[in-house]
Amino acid sequence: MIDPPIVSAKLDAADRLIDADPAFLALNERAGGAIGATLATPQLATMVRLARRLRILVSRAVTIADADLDLDCWVRATPTDQGVSLAISPTRERPAWRSPSASGAVPPPADADWIWETDAGLRLQRIAPDAGARFGFDADAALGKPLTRLFALEGGDDGVLTLLEAVAAVEDFDGQPAVLRESGAAVTLAGHVRRDGSGAFAGFVGGTFHECVSSAREVEALGDTFNRRLDTILRGPLGRIVANADSINAGTEGPIDPHYADYAADIASAARHLMGLIDDLADMQAIERDDFTVEDEGIDLADVTRRAAGLLAVRAAHGDVTIDRGDLDTPLAAHGEFRRTLQIMVNLIGNAVRYSPRGATIWLKLQRDGDRAIAIVADQGKGIAPEDHERIFGKFERVDPAEAGGNGLGLYIARRLARAMGGDLTVDSAPDAGARFVLTLPAA
């Protein structure tokens, strides 16, 4: 427990705790933190990151859970030359929230596959102990987070979200369709209202019912529905986020603090990454259909490669990477679909740019070998071990998952597309020797 009136803490430029009052140290240790580590209380850690990033004072009310108490505090995070300084002023302490359903006051929905409970803010307070292991999600990480972080809620036939109507009316609900975000499983939610000692709404005791998709046709229909919802629910808002963040970064409304401009650029970059993930998921859903086909448009592989290099020229220049286009002026006729071949080459050249050190060169080469038209993308990156040559073409696989980068779908999709056009995609590489990706298509 923090003793009044004010306690303080200091953090370095990497948001690690370097000094604090004894009372704060004890609170942080009870939450699992320590000197030299980031703060164990998520609300405080978020304020520290925000103050450091924006270089402005951030001040707000925060409730900190501490053993059997909830501490209502006023917290001020002030950026300094060395990092961030925290000042915490406790205003009230009160008993921590306890679920009345633990004693059986509110029963869970009957026949649910697993149960959960929320508080009045729809934050998850309890999840059935074995639910995460059984149904493919991290139950510990979900605790304390909003219910919608675990489930993506979907509207019914009339577009209405049953759970939100139940919150507004403070009544039980059932039949709320949703998707378990981590596993993608389709589920239905139901819940019974919990009330506190004064009779006010205190959350739900809920149940999750997993749906069984009984046929390939139903699986296909589910994929089509998912793809349509990606377009209508996510693409529009993400596009607006990118546009607005780019406008802020460019200062179109007038000069702004450089730190705000950098923050806006990061927002735009993150939104573009999500847009790319949505595109990849939509492509994956398409190429895995039994009836997926590509057009044979009779393409010029040299022209496609030139266009792909042009699309990535700015990104390469920004990273001080040279794209050596070699002899791309000589046409190389091949069978394939223009759009899909361009998608493959953009992925290969984009990966080469991403993983090339500054000052490196990427070589693009074309050749014909009998009835095969071949495009080669060679880089000077850190290379790929032989045992990983096949693995990186798997779904959601990456050479080094710890590195910043893509989502592990690009090469999987690229190889599936190459093979759908009658060709293939392979890699020749070794550690510290760069990578050489080879696209082959039927020559025309």
Model confidence pLDDT, tens digit, residues 232-276: 566 667 777 877 777 787 777 777 777 777 777 778 777 776 776
Specify whether the CB–CB gap between 63 and 73 falls below 8 A.
yes
Report which of residues 217 and 328 the model is more confident about.
Answer: 328
Average pLDDT over residues 352-374: 94
Cα–Cα distance for residue pair 244/227, rounded to 1 Å = 25
Residue 161 pLDDT class (50, 70, 90 cuts): confident
Q: Which helix (H) or strand (E) holds 308?
A: helix 301-311
Report which of residues 156 and 178 the model is more confident about.
Answer: 178
Least confident piece of the model among 20-34, 58-72, 132-146 = 58-72
Q: What pLDDT was estimated at residue 320?
A: 93
pLDDT(218) > 50: no
pLDDT(11) > 50: yes
pLDDT(101) > 50: no
Q: What pLDDT was estimated at residue 273?
A: 64
Residue (of 252, 255, 249) closest to 268 by Cα position: 249
Cα–Cα distance for residue pair 6/340, rounded to 1 Å = 62
Residue 46 pLDDT class (50, 70, 90 cuts): confident
Strand partners, 326: none
Cα–Cα distance for residue pair 41/21, rounded to 1 Å = 16
Specify whether the CB–CB gap between 1 and 69 falls below 8 A.
yes
Token pair, residue 404, equals 């910043």
pLDDT(384) > 70: yes
Report which of residues 106 and 342 the model is more confident about.
Answer: 342
The residue to which tokens 């520290």 are assigned: 48
Cα–Cα distance for residue pair 26/71, rounded to 1 Å = 14
At 363 the three-state DSSP class reads strand
Specify whether the CB–CB gap between 109 and 191 falls below 8 A.
yes
pLDDT(231) > 80: no
Q: What pLDDT was estimated at residue 406?
A: 63
At 152 the three-state DSSP class reads strand
pLDDT(195) > 90: no
Q: What pLDDT was estimated at residue 160?
A: 76
Cα–Cα distance for residue pair 276/225, rounded to 1 Å = 19
On the CB side of 375, CA atoms within 13 Å amount to 34
pLDDT, the chain, mean:
83
Least confident piece of the model among 15-29, 225-239, 353-367 = 225-239
What is the pTM for the complete model shown?
0.46
Least confident piece of the model among 17-21, 22-26, 196-200 = 196-200
